[in-house]
Structures are given as structure tokens and as C-alpha cells.
Amino acid sequence: MPYRRTGRSGLKLPALSLGLWHNFGPDRPVETQRAILRRAFDLGVTHFDLANNYGPPPGSAESALGEALKADFAPYRDELVISTKAGYLMWPGPYGEWGSRKSLLSSLDQSLSRMGLEYVDVFYSHRPDPKTPLEETMGALHTAVQQGKALYVGVSNYSPEQTREAARILAELGTPLLIHQPRYSMLDRRPETGGLLDALDELEVGSIAYSPLEQGLLTGRYLNGIPEDSRAASDSPFLNSDAVTEELVGKLRGLNEIAGSRGQSLAQLALAWVLRQGRVTSALVGASSPRQLEDSVAAIGNLDFDADELARIDKIVQG
């Protein structure tokens, strides 16, 4: 597993990190969850990424990780990078979401309790709060570091302008902005086209891409339409059947042909593409089984693209 330095910091992250957004909760067998985490660690995927509301239900992913940490990873805490976030709806009432000092620091205390940890390695503001001064939100992140409850801080879903301002405020406080977590994939290139990657390069801030497989669309499951047991066939708020058009399926098949010519699966191609230039520090992958995780990790065997391959991918995606 290659490890990449995060921005200008001393922290290195594995090229692939394990996200516990889905598949970690009471509706999944505990032994499967533990097997995925153990296999990840053995493969060098030493970064586990969470948020307060991951589950379902909210909080259950952190609780599941807490049990696994106690059972399997207690001797290896210093070999792990564990991150969590706050900002999306977590509990009812005025303090259960967004970016106030009250909400963020209360949420972090709850997250640490669920995971049985004294600190997390990275604590994120999960989204900007349009009604709270950015100075307050960044001040809360700074306080988390001062309290010893987080080693580093990050932001997610912030625009380039908001990221620059967040970095400025944090620098004045003395807690550098470590990392930004944007949504980024072959099918969703807003971090490129909107200037976010340029801003992160300029600021020397790391990045970790979520949804690099575009909610499963880039796994190869949709090459022949919508499988009955797929996310798009369910009532998932993150992917619905309307998104899987004939045009999209045609693009997926074209990308799959390129993947085959490289000796990769479509998912491996998608992960390699996100990591291709070194501008992205790490890509977040989910897994429903150790085997699925192994397939994702195999992407690191070929992260190089020639100009022709990149041009063909662009032509297919952009039509």
C-alpha cells in the first residue's frame, strides 16, 4: 500500500482509505464488519473514516468501530488514523446539526464515547453552516485540537472560497487545515472544474475523495441496467433508478472496455483515475465484504494512465 503525505503536514495516508458510511450498523452481521476491518488493516488500509451520523441508525457505525477497536485493534491504535465529522443532522433539536461551537464539540464528545477513544486523528466540519460565522466553526475545530480530542482538523463539502477562508482563519489560530473531503469521481468532476483542487494545491492542503465509485455506478453492477438487489433499485436517497439512463449505461460500458484493456475492473479503473495525478491524497472506499475490499485495493497495482487513455475516458464521460 503506498502512503501519501497529506498536504504540507507530516501525516501520511494510505492511497485507499476505508469509509464506514454504509455496511456498519445493526443490520449487518458483526463478524462481517470485523472481518472487513481486519482485512483492511492487513492490506495497509490503516485509515478508517466515519461521521457522527453514519449508520443507519446515526451513531451505529462509530459504535461498531468502537467494539472492533476493543476486540481487535487495542494494541494497534498508534498504527491507525481514525477520522470523524459533525455537521449533518445527528439528533433532534437546535444543536443536533450544522456548525455551531455547541454542536461540533458536543458531537465530538459523543463520537469519542461511542468509539471508546480519547482522541480522533482528524475531526471535520462536515459541511459549511450558512448561519454560523466561519470563525466560530473553525474556532471549535481549533478547540478540539487544544483539548487533545483531535490531532488534526479538516473540512468537507466546502467551496474553494470557503476553504480558503477556513484555512486563513485556522492558520491565524495556529491549527493548520490538514485536509478537505470532497465528492469526486470520473462522473463528478466538480473539484476539478470548480477550482477546488487548484485551491488545495495553492494552500498545500490534502484531499480525500468520497464516492469515487459514484454510489456504486462505477462498480460494474449497472452495465446491463439496474440489478434488483442494487442501491438504485432500493429507496436509497443517494441513488435512484432515474439516474441509470440508457445514456449512462452506454458510458459505463465504454469505460468498462478501457478498464479491460488495462487489466482492471471498472471499479479499479475508477479508483486509479481519482488517484492518477497525485493531487488526491487518498480515495475512500466502502466494502460489504473482505473480498470486495480486496478488489478495490488491487487498483493500486496500476495507477498510471497514458494520454490516450485519459482522452478516451474524457470523450466517453463528457459525450
Q: Average model confidence (pLDDT) for the chain?
A: 94
pLDDT (average), residues 92-119: 98
| Residue 238 pLDDT | 56
| Residue 227 pLDDT | 65
Q: pLDDT band at residue 228, thresholds of 50, 70 and 90?
A: low
Environment class of 253 (CB within 10 Å of its CB; exposed 0-12, middle 13-18, buried 19+): middle
| Residue 235 pLDDT | 59
Domain 3-318 CATH assignment equals 3.30.479.30 = no
| Residue 245 pLDDT | 86
At 252-295, the pLDDT tens digits run 999 999 999 999 999 999 999 999 999 999 999 999 999 999 99
At 45-55, the pLDDT tens digits run 999 999 999 99
Least confident of 102-111, 131-140, 222-231: 222-231
Q: pLDDT band at residue 239, thresholds of 50, 70 and 90?
A: low
Domain range list for the chain: 3-318
| Residue 319 pLDDT | 82
d(CA 174, CA 1): 32
Quick check: bond before 290 cis, omega within 30?
Answer: no
Query: Is-contact 85 97, C-beta < 8 A?
Result: no
Q: pLDDT band at residue 23, thresholds of 50, 70 and 90?
A: confident
